Structure 1
Amino acid sequence: MENLSPEKSNWIQELSNQSWNLELVVSGAAIFSTSFLPELTDAAIESYFENYQLSNSVVNQVFPLLAYSFAKSSAYLLIITFAVHFILRAFWIAIVGLRAVFPQGINYENIPNTSKSLAETYKKKFGTLDGFIIRLDRFSSQIFSIAFVMVLFSLMLALLYLLIFTGTVGIKTFFPEFYSKAKPIFLVSGGLILVTSLILVLLSTNEKYREHPVIGKLLMQFIDKSTWLYMGMYKPIQYINFTFASNLPRKKYYFTVSFIGLFFFGLALSIYLDKMLTHYGITHLESRNFYSTGTSEHKLTPNFYDNLRPENERIEAVSIQSDVVEGAFLKLYINYSKVFDVDLAKICKEPTLPDTLKKHKQRLLVDKSRLECFSQYFKIALNDSTFDSVELFFEDQGSTKGLRTYLSTEKCKIGRNTLYIKTMNVDSLPKKVWTDYVEVPFWYAKD
């Protein structure tokens, strides 16, 4: 066991007494730095849907959304906790400054319009100013410690998810055959480990099982072998956790842990539902009783139009130049999302090229072949007229990559028109069946 000399103990005590100024600096900096985290998590999930979503399966949508909701909940909790600590510390400084002006503190006998019995009641209820300063100081330090447990825990979850995500995507992308064979084994193994862990954790809450020679040994081995899941945060987290658990009354400790846990998971669930409904274009939390239900036929989507889309907002599906079109051509941009690769892989075959062909020529032929494949996959129609063939070009649009084509407005009628983009249902081949992808209404006016 570690024994500290009296000098070191006194130094630590003195450092603890002066920690408030460091807490204020760190808390202020933390509020500023964590204020960007919610926006960063939004950008991360959008990047996932754009560049890394391998399919529309439940696993590829639900788990990333869960990770996003936990990350954003952590971000909000960090901001709230550091803000509460900063306010409490500022209040503490104000009270300490007030005591410096009035060293005697509260003089209950001199409170105006107060009887002796009421003054005595106040004294029992509020106590001394010095006592309040000490309690507020301790509470502020506890809030600060809780905030850093959340920081470490959030970092642990982020690193763990990043490890699992990159490993899964990497194996599925570069070793698809191995992934398809190993996936059931990994799922079953992971499920067994999770169930076993939950059983051991539940058994550990009962003293009878904790002291059991076999179960106790299994529990110790489980704790020892699972520390890697903390991503290097095990000891820092447990130092703070054990300090709280060993000094707070049991009821207060469990109440605090339960309250934080319920608040965190409640916030995560609300963020998850909000993002999922938003992602699928389902209207929710609308206070107006008779507003749109979200149908594309009767609602304009600003993201579909270059002139209406907010600056720096990515193109989610498709875009044309304006909601009111003039001129001979309709400029259509189709966002190429990663999720299309599953379908495209079933109909697109890379051309076999001779090695003697120059690299530049090879790239030209490969790009031409890929664009022809896209032309087969997408079906574009204007009102009731389908374009037999369209000339596509690759184009980067900010953070998105996609396809550009120019459609003749010759068949447009004055007033409202609708552009239909459909995708091929590759599972129905060789029979060609098309699935509605997006509809873009616009108004045509001649020059």
Structure 2
Amino acid sequence: MTDDTSQLPRHTTPTWEVELLISGVAVFAMLQLPELLDRTILEWQPRLVERWSDLLWVVYIYAKSAALILAGTFVIHLLLRARWIALVGMLSIYPKGVDWDSLRLGPLARDVESKRLGRMEDAIDRADNRATMVFALGVVMASILMAVTLVAGTYIVLAWFLESRMGLAPDTRWVGWVLIVATVPYLAAYAIDRRFGARMTPGAIGTRIVRGVLWFYSRIGFGMANNPALALLSSHRGQKWTVFLLSAVFTVASFTAAMTYYIAQQPDAYGSYDSFPDSDDLPSRSIDPANYDDRRDPVRSRVAPYVQSAVIIGPFAQLVIPWTPDRDGPAMDARCGMLPANEQLGCYAEHVRPVTLDGKPIAAVFDIGDDARTNRPALVAMIDVRELARGRHILGVTLPPQVPAPRKDDDGEEDPPADYIPFWR
């Protein structure tokens, strides 16, 4: 004899075991993937000029949005499946369902609640179907974003090849317009088919053109046939509801990805610190961890000149100036590029990155080195501090003159664009 209460409901989704397996295994990977993407972009952006870092940022946003959607989907799916399993288990304990008469409810509330819940078997089926739909919808949305990420990544590789191998520098601003124009034929054929398709003559040239356009775009990934799960959901839940849901989830995921990126670069941007002094107003009084090698985070700290520590023990302060392609490259080419190689470092120290100590210019001698903790190129100068008095001192490292633009204070005077590094002897 088989007790029906020990069996799964008859209409249970046949993929529930595989869903649980995938969600249980993948949720841990998906929760770690956003952090990996953050580290990747924060490590790579300082190596690139602005147009390349902007493209990398676009790929990062799409990839991180897909990772966030998958992570959220798998977590929600596990919770929904756990709820479904709990309901199945509870029904096996109480096979007669809810005993509404034993609850302290009035007759009207009892009638409303019992009709809303219905049979426990139906409630279990609804919980089962809801979990499967969440699983499928999350995979569909992440797949769409990953396809977009792949297209953007392919463009970056192609553009890099054209620039590095063929000497061409494609303007990244026209990429969006090209993508928009490329979708116009599909949208036009789609609109014509919906409005006039039933009245078009089979075999006519117009019919063949519309069919050919739709066939071509279907082959390259457009249309419902390339996403059966989305087609099933749209056909049974409605296209407007599905489009709204997809747009809402994409917007939330993209906004979250962008905000976490911003917070990673500006950790002091959130919190109730309105009355705290602004370091931009008092740059020479700012103790920025990015300026000290023993305190900075190689990945998350801003790219800035640094010394070994806020307290200099030895006879020399080792000043390391990481090379930034957007700032140092153009400045070096414009001011020192025509000089012989053996004179460029001296020109750079004198005209591009002059160094001051306690407000007085010093003749810093730069050597070619690197940032040992990030493996990025840097210039190194050993500053003699043996004769300095005990106490507080300030190193000033001038930024290239064109970036950033000088900032005006309240009196209308311009502050020199420089990094200030306070240190103590």
TM-score by length of 2: 0.78
Partner of residue 36, structure 1: 32
Structure 1 Cα separation of the partners of residues 398 and 218 of structure 2? 50
Q: Percent identity?
A: 18
Structure 1 Cα separation of the partners of residues 174 and 368 of structure 2? 45
Cα separation, partners in 2 of 1:105 and 1:278, compared to 1, 3 Å = closer
1:288 to 263, 273, 276: 273
Partner of residue 415, structure 1: 391
Offset, 1:390: 0.8
Partner of residue 382, structure 1: 357
Structure 2 Cα separation of the partners of residues 202 and 411 of structure 1? 77
| Aligned residue identity for 1:243 | L
1:98 to 74, 90, 98: 90
Contact between 2:233 and 2:242, CA under 8 Å: does it hold in 1? no
Structure 1 Cα separation of the partners of residues 269 and 363 of structure 2? 39
Offset, 1:89: 0.3
Offset, 1:32: 0.6
Contact between 2:62 and 2:254, CA under 8 Å: does it hold in 1? yes
SS of equivalent to 1:68: helix
Partner of residue 264, structure 1: 250
Which region of structure 1 is more displaced relative to structure 2, 370-379 or 146-155? 370-379
Partner of residue 422, structure 2: 442
Contact between 1:153 and 1:237, CA under 8 Å: does it hold in 2? no
Contact between 1:334 and 1:404, CA under 8 Å: does it hold in 2? yes
SS of equivalent to 1:93: helix
SS of equivalent to 1:406: strand
Q: How does 1:316-335 map to 2 (within 5 A)?
A: 316-335=303-322
Partner of residue 141, structure 2: 150
Partner of residue 400, structure 1: 375
Partner of residue 44, structure 2: 48
Cα separation, partners in 2 of 1:396 and 1:297, compared to 1, 3 Å = closer
1:344 to 323, 328, 332: 332
Cα separation, partners in 2 of 1:16 and 1:129, compared to 1, 3 Å = closer
Structure 2 Cα separation of the partners of residues 331 and 75 of structure 1? 41
Partner of residue 241, structure 1: 230
Offset, 1:222: 4.5
Task: After superposition, give the CA deviation of every residue in 1:210-236 in whole Å (9 maximum; x if it has no partner).
Answer: 658588766654544445765xx9888
Q: How does 1:31-430 map to 2 (within 5 A)?
A: 31-51=27-47, 53-54=48-49, 56=50, 59-60=51-52, 62-108=54-100, 110-176=101-167, 178-179=168-169, 183=170, 191=177, 194-195=180-181, 197=183, 200-201=186-187, 204=190, 207-208=194-195, 220-226=211-217, 230=221, 238-248=227-237, 250=238, 253-269=239-255, 271-272=257-258, 275=261, 279=265, 284-295=269-280, 296-310=283-297, 316-339=303-326, 340-346=328-334, 347-348=336-337, 371=345, 374-375=348-349, 377-401=352-376, 402-410=378-386, 412-425=388-401
Q: Which runs of 5+ in 2 are unaligned?
A: 1-9, 404-414
| Aligned residue identity for 1:336 | W
SS of equivalent to 1:420: strand
Structure 2 Cα separation of the partners of residues 270 and 47 of structure 1? 20
| Aligned residue identity for 1:245 | S
Structure 1 Cα separation of the partners of residues 235 and 245 of structure 2? 19
Q: Which runs of 5+ in 1 are unaligned?
A: 1-13, 352-365, 428-434
Which region of structure 1 is more displaced relative to structure 2, 401-410 or 436-445? 436-445
Offset, 1:405: 2.1
Which region of structure 1 is more displaced relative to structure 2, 436-445 or 88-97? 436-445
1:19 to 15, 19, 22: 15
| Aligned residue identity for 1:71 | A
Cα separation, partners in 2 of 1:228 and 1:161, compared to 1, 3 Å = farther
| Aligned residue identity for 1:318 | P
| Aligned residue identity for 1:81 | T
Cα separation, partners in 2 of 1:317 and 1:441, compared to 1, 3 Å = closer
Task: After superposition, give the CA deviation of every residue in 1:403-442 in whole Å (9 maximum; x if it has no partner).
Answer: 2221011564543322111244489xxxxxxx96642332
| Aligned residue identity for 1:124 | K
Offset, 1:311: 7.4
Contact between 1:282 and 1:294, CA under 8 Å: does it hold in 2? no
Which region of structure 1 is more displaced relative to structure 2, 26-35 or 396-405? 396-405
Count of residue pairs the alignment pairs up: 394
Cα separation, partners in 2 of 1:143 and 1:236, compared to 1, 3 Å = farther
Cα separation, partners in 2 of 1:190 and 1:393, compared to 1, 3 Å = closer
Structure 1 Cα separation of the partners of residues 44 and 246 of structure 2? 29
Offset, 1:126: 0.9
Offset, 1:98: 1.0
SS of equivalent to 1:318: coil
Task: After superposition, give the CA deviation of every residue in 1:135-187 in whole Å (9 maximum; x if it has no partner).
Answer: 111111111111211332232122112111122223223333x33xxx36x86
Cα separation, partners in 2 of 1:45 and 1:202, compared to 1, 3 Å = farther
Structure 2 Cα separation of the partners of residues 229 and 43 of structure 1? 33
Structure 2 Cα separation of the partners of residues 378 and 212 of structure 1? 73
Contact between 1:418 and 1:439, CA under 8 Å: does it hold in 2? no
Which region of structure 1 is more displaced relative to structure 2, 189-198 or 78-87? 189-198
TM-score by length of 1: 0.75
SS of equivalent to 2:320: strand
Partner of residue 411, structure 2: none
| Aligned residue identity for 1:175 | M
Cα separation, partners in 2 of 1:198 and 1:105, compared to 1, 3 Å = farther
Offset, 1:316: 1.9
Cα separation, partners in 2 of 1:332 and 1:193, compared to 1, 3 Å = closer
